[in-house]
Amino acid sequence: MLMKEKEQIRISAVSYANTYPFIYGITQKLKSDSICLSKDVPSVCAEKLQTQEVDVGLIPVAQLPSFPNAQIISDYCIGAVGKVKTVLLMSRVPLDEIKAVYLDSESRTSVNLIKVLAKHYWKKDWLWKQAPADFPKSNQHTSIVLIGDKTYNYLNDYPYIYDLAEVWQEFTGKPFVFAVWVANKVLSDSFISAFNSALSYGLQNITTSLDVYAQVEQKEELEDYLNHYISYNLDREKQEGMDLFLNYLKEL
């Protein structure tokens, strides 16, 4: 059923720095009384869309099969062509000595990406464990998948770091898509057009978005990250990479 124009559209955006341009564009270009914007970790974005708490969400690609009737409504995404810097396998030991990997619960896509790479690229049968809130550091054989802004806090704690988007590119020759904008109901063409224009505006004003949302001491590093490591256009190559990843998920 088509949503009426007068209904407020509820949007869940990811709370990480790589979404700052999107959030900036949405808040600047969409009328505040026409939307309700929340900022959540990726898994909560998906949960809110699943339970219909929101109408639009920036959803981890691995959870797309959970939304059989949902539609991708934007040509923009959170993606990477090669290294992404914030989706990492961090280890105290070399790859061949890893016994178990602790998993970050904030994004199912990253969890499934490491499982796909372990099975099909590295040919490893690791033990998977849920990461506790205080990430384990004492076990000499501890390895962990971390995502998002918090990865910067642990870079000096682990001598072996593998960028999962970069490894995916080595494995498949394709870029990787972490999240896409999805609606769980039919939205008007006028809203979809306005929404995409807002996202585009945010991407044209990355520096300004960081002025608004980033801490001063992080701005230079984040500007480099958003401009050189996050790839926002959902082009044909990314679509192919996304389809390939979803096919691999069926084999896990």
Tokens 């979404």 identify what position?
19
Q: Which amino acid is at 152?
A: Y
Locate 69 and state its tokens.
């009737």
Domains and CATH numbers, the chain: 9-79+177-235 (3.40.190.10), 87-172 (3.40.190.10)
For residues 179 and 40, what is the distance between their CA atoms, to the nearest angstrom?
13
Residue 138, pLDDT score: 54
Given a cut of 50, the residues of the chain with pLDDT beneath it are 1-5
Measured over the CA atoms of residue 85, residue 91, residue 96 and residue 99, the dihedral's sign is negative
**How many H helices and E strands in the chain?**
8, 11
Pairing of the two strands 127-130 and 100-103: parallel
Is residue 172 within 8 Å of 238, Cβ to Cβ?
Answer: no
C-alpha to C-alpha distances, 189 to 41, 52, 54, 73, 186, nearest whole angstrom = 28, 20, 18, 10, 9
Q: Strands of 100-103's sheet, edge to edge?
A: 127-130, 100-103, 142-147, 87-91, 160-163
C-alpha to C-alpha distances, 30 to 101, 198, 201, nearest whole angstrom = 42, 7, 11
User: Treating both helix axes as pointing N-terminal to C-terminal, what angle do 164-172 and 236-249 enclose, rounded to 10 degrees?
Assistant: 90
Residue 221, pLDDT score: 92
Tokens 């061949």 identify what position?
96
Cβ atoms within 10 A of the Cβ of 214, count?
18
Residue 134, pLDDT score: 67
For residues 69 and 145, what is the distance between their CA atoms, to the nearest angstrom?
31
Residues with Cβ within 8 Å of 138's Cβ and at least 6 positions away in sequence, in order, are none
The model's pTM is 0.91
For residues 179 and 192, what is the distance between their CA atoms, to the nearest angstrom?
17
Residue 140, pLDDT score: 59
Pairing of the two strands 231-233 and 100-103: unpaired
Instruction: List, for residues 117-129, the tens digit of each pLDDT value.
Output: 999 999 999 999 9
